[in-house]
A and B are shown apart, each in its own frame.
Chain A
């Protein structure tokens, strides 16, 4: 579905991605983990051409997004929904208008149809009651849920999540994890999640890839990831109190 082939990117003279190659299979939840500054968000931004690689190619199915321009790029981007780290809601539009924006821009839906669709998506995230509010009236967690409603409103094939649970309370974090899981199971949506939160990664991921110093140090299914012998991975797991023989192994059964 998403194929990175020897992608290299330097930012401010620093090598952020160094000949990175991997594949995100269709209908899977692919989680990218790593320390701050490891290149996770940069990887995600390359998938929708918010950044261009210095060398290498990125394919979305048959489409070469790393070389796409103009209308072709717009067409490829419409296959995506993106939840940004800070939700990135337009501050002068209400919650309803924010979620309705892609529908108004790219469809010929009537106002009644738009309202029905927006309500439906906001209901999924328990945000229907905040429809008339403005982003500045919402907490960070609520803004993120609205951002997610906007990301899924066009029923995209692929959803990218940049730190979807950072700064959220545990209950809201699990709600978002559950939603990502449901989107995969029920609609077969491909998800790419960038996170620091290994608990969340192990709960929702069907593949987990760790990046460190611009290189992939591990790319495996969750049950294999926690057994990785790579030192960087082990340190990362231990830093979040996850051990090879921990309770997580029991939770891994769904992926086997």
Chain B
């Protein structure tokens, strides 16, 4: 494909190998993205089998792992995110005598952006990487092949319960993050900035709109689906033993972070401009 351009590359002394490598990376990325979307579509179609006892049990287990087991770290991160937001905005607003408005600032930022964003990052790093490592280990120890020869579709058996769990749990955890973040902001407001709790919460509720909440929760669902898709796909395509499992885990975290940032921006752009 690059052959007709070879002379052009030579004329301008461009590094042809680098362009070839870049082209290969782009093509492979498109190939992986396409296959991951096919896997997602297949797992989505299998949601109809959720009523089966084994699928119900597995989904409940994944809900527990995603939700309950992540609560500790989410609690700490959410609380401190709200506290940092309140402190930073409060210090600036104090210069204009407007520190009473930190309630609005913290609430709007938390429910629009920081809630789904922070929850997404934590879940990608903890749950997403764990999913990639578990499924990746299964792939290199031929457990996925064993499922296939038993005519058990891995998209139904493994991907679907994780997809459902992450899509359901992400908005719930985001609400939890939002509440704790706003609470953390309130504590900083009352103890460090002299904004009383009632004034803080009154301000917080007055200017936040329902739309902010809906868009934030929509983001959370999208992030949950993205994390499930990336982690399961990276796991299922793992090869080359323990090194491959490490590579899949790392890729899951990196790709999920990048997607959360870029898709998060696009959703904000779509709903607010």
Residue A82 interfacial (CB < 8 Å): yes
Residue B142 interfacial (CB < 8 Å): yes
Q: How many residues of B contact A (CB 8 A)?
A: 12
Residue B150 interfacial (CB < 8 Å): yes
Q: A101 touches which one: B142, B148, B150 (CB < 8 A)?
A: B150
| In the complex, per-residue mask of B189-206: 1 if CB is within 8 Å of any chain A CB, else 0 | 000000000000000000
Q: Complex formed: what's the CA distance from A67 to B54 in Å?
A: 31
Contact A82 B146 (CB under 8 A): yes
The contact size tier of chain A is 20 to 34
Residue B152 interfacial (CB < 8 Å): yes
The residue of chain B having its C-beta at the shortest distance from the C-beta of A98 within the complex is B146
Residue A78 interfacial (CB < 8 Å): yes
Q: Complex formed: what's the CA distance from A77 to B149 in Å?
A: 6
Residue B92 interfacial (CB < 8 Å): no
Residue B143 interfacial (CB < 8 Å): yes
Residue A138 interfacial (CB < 8 Å): no
Given contacts A77-B151, A101-B152, A105-B152, contact A88 B146 (CB under 8 A): yes
Contact A85 B151 (CB under 8 A): no
Q: Complex formed: what's the CA distance from A195 to B57 in Å?
A: 38
Residue B141 interfacial (CB < 8 Å): yes
Residue B145 interfacial (CB < 8 Å): yes
- Minimum CB–CB distance from B28 to chain A (whole Å) comes to 16
Within residues 122 to 155 of chain B, which ones have a CB less than 8 A from any CB in chain A? 138, 141-143, 145-146, 148-152
Q: A84 touches which one: B54, B142, B151, B152 (CB < 8 A)?
A: B142
Q: Please, which residues of chain A bring their CB within 8 A of the CB of B149?
A: 48, 50, 77, 80, 82
The residue of chain A having its C-beta at the shortest distance from the C-beta of B137 within the complex is A91
Contact B142 A77 (CB under 8 A): no
Q: B142 touches which one: A86, A91, A102 (CB < 8 A)?
A: A86
Q: Complex formed: what's the CA distance from A86 to B144 in Å?
A: 13
- Minimum CB–CB distance from A100 to chain B (whole Å) comes to 10
Q: Complex formed: what's the CA distance from A154 to B270 in Å?
A: 53
The 7 A-B residue pairs with the shortest CB-CB distance, nearest first, are: A88-B146, A74-B151, A88-B142, A84-B142, A82-B149, A48-B149, A77-B151
Taking beta carbons and an 8 Å cutoff, which residues of A are in contact with B? 45, 48, 50, 74-75, 77-78, 80, 82, 84-86, 88-91, 101-102, 104-106
Taking beta carbons and an 8 Å cutoff, which residues of B are in contact with A? 54, 138, 141-143, 145-146, 148-152
A-B contact pairs, 8 of them (CB 8 A): A75-B151, A78-B151, A89-B146, A91-B138, A91-B143, A101-B150, A102-B152, A106-B150
Known: A75-B151, A88-B142. 16 other contacts (CB 8 A): A48-B149, A50-B148, A50-B149, A74-B151, A77-B148, A77-B149, A78-B151, A84-B146, A90-B138, A90-B143, A90-B146, A91-B138, A104-B54, A105-B54, A106-B150, A106-B151
